[in-house]
Amino acid sequence: MTFKPTRRTAMYAGVAALAGLAGAGIAWKRHASRTLAADAMQALWSSEFTQPSGEPLVMSSLQGRPLVLNFWATWCPPCVEEMPLIDAFFRQNKQYGWQVVGLAIDQPSRVRQFLSQFPVDYSIGLAGLNGTELGKILGNEQSSLPFTVVLDAQGLLVQRKLGKLTPEDIKNWAI
């Protein structure tokens, strides 16, 4: 007895093969590149922001060390909710060279008022619309918040996440 495929069987096999290829493509895209485009890295390292204290925050001074870059705003509930997790990570890991920068996409007066009530140990940059543009260049095409980019000491991408961070996300940062 020989197996003779029907048209329906061949169609199901074709659909299954396409689904498998699509899944493999998505997995490859997620894991293939740990680098950001050269223009994105240039935009990041050439950026300068003012800190709430009025001092400059020169991003190039952070090169060569692992970096968490978190885009946030005072009016964004998930941003505010994840700040204690980010702050705890920084306090536990600054001795290992980690740098954390929160780029506030907000009005400077609102950021200063917020931080007077809810201070953090990591650096904050008053980024405004320039921060929105930097976020887009780094992969936040929707300009949504919160958005986080994590780089290792060599500038390789460890994580890029749009949306609220979880404790599991932060555990994956340790390199």
Q: What is the pLDDT along the chain (175 residues), one digit of tens a residue?
A: 555 667 665 555 544 445 544 444 443 344 445 778 889 999 999 999 999 999 999 999 999 999 999 999 999 999 999 999 999 999 999 999 999 999 999 999 999 999 999 999 999 999 998 899 999 999 999 999 999 999 999 999 999 999 999 999 999 887 5
- Residue where the block lists tokens 């946030």: 72
Whole-structure pTM value? 0.80
Best CA proximity match to 122, nearest among 103, 100, 96: 100
User: Is the dihedral angle over the CA atoms 92, 56, 143, 63 positive or is it negative?
Assistant: negative
Task: Please give the structure tokens belonging to residue 138.
Answer: 């780094």
CATH number of 38-171: 3.40.30.10
Per-residue confidence (pLDDT) for residue 3, from 0 to 100: 58
Best CA proximity match to 71, nearest among 124, 119, 28: 124
Q: Do residues 73 and 104 lie in contact, with contact meaning Cβ atoms separated by under 8 Å?
A: yes
Q: In what order do the strands lie in the sheet with 56-58?
A: 56-58, 48-50, 123-126, 99-104, 67-72, 147-151, 157-162
